[in-house]
Amino acid sequence: MEPGKSCIHQPVVCIATMSDSTVIGFVLIARHGDRHENFQNPDTFAVSQTAITPLGKQLSNFLRSVYLDRSLPSYIAGISPSTSIFNSTGQVAVYADNDFPNDTVILDSTAALTQGLWPATPLQNITLANGTTIVNPLGGYKYVPVNGINPDENVSPKGTTDCTTFLNCAQVLYNWTLFQEVSTNASAFFAALPPYVGGRPIELENAWNIFDYMNFQASRRSQRNRLDASCASPAPKHEAR
């Protein structure tokens, strides 16, 4: 789920229609959902802290309706439905990039996803010896285990983290003649941007951050405020893209 997006792109799911077809599982590979704008250093690629938006937490609703509904042929055989007590034994394995404290947006997005797949239910409880029933906090919250992966110890989620070769290649790109020509050609466009980019450095190396900020602002501003911003027109954002 990536990237300061203003809409959700639903995955394409092939739902079995034959009576002899059975879904035995699925693998979901995602980044993160819709988030607030952030800043990624163009030299080190370190990112600033950001946060998932309510929009970015909606993917779980779609997945729950497809895979955890017993009435559908796409229901995963044998898995705990969303309305039942969560059972992690051999059913679910969740892994997430956890670059704490520098960047927790992926881990936060994962937590939101699991919360939406298995919402709280009063069934999540225990009964004490004296007959008292104790329900999990928040109306029966289900604690779905998430395995946080430290990018310094495992490169599988994001192989570019602290990768000297990647950083050197980025510098080669920035010094490339064609890159410099594009930067020169964009100078007039860059000169008009200062009021609209939240103080971000205005240079081609920083083009992604410029677009990310403008894209977020364009999709979040009220209609009234958009009239006073360059983002009211698609042209600046399109060129930044």
In one-letter notation, the amino acid at residue 58 is Q
Note the pLDDT of residue 171.
Answer: 94
Buried b (16+ CB within 10 A) or exposed e, 153-176: eeeebbeebeeeeeeeebeeeeee
Q: Consecutive 10-residue runs of the chain (241 residues): their mean pLDDT?
A: 36 45 81 80 82 81 87 86 79 80 76 88 93 94 86 72 86 95 92 87 91 82 47 55 62
pTM: 0.66
Per-residue tokens: 168: 């050197």
Note the pLDDT of residue 238.
Answer: 63
Note the pLDDT of residue 139.
Answer: 92
Report how far residue 241's alpha carbon sits from residue 238's, in angstroms, rounded to the nearest whole number: 5
Note the pLDDT of residue 1.
Answer: 35
Note the pLDDT of residue 17.
Answer: 45
Quick one: angle between helices 105-117 and 59-67, nearest 10?
40
117 to 29, 60, 99: CA distances (angstroms): 15, 5, 24
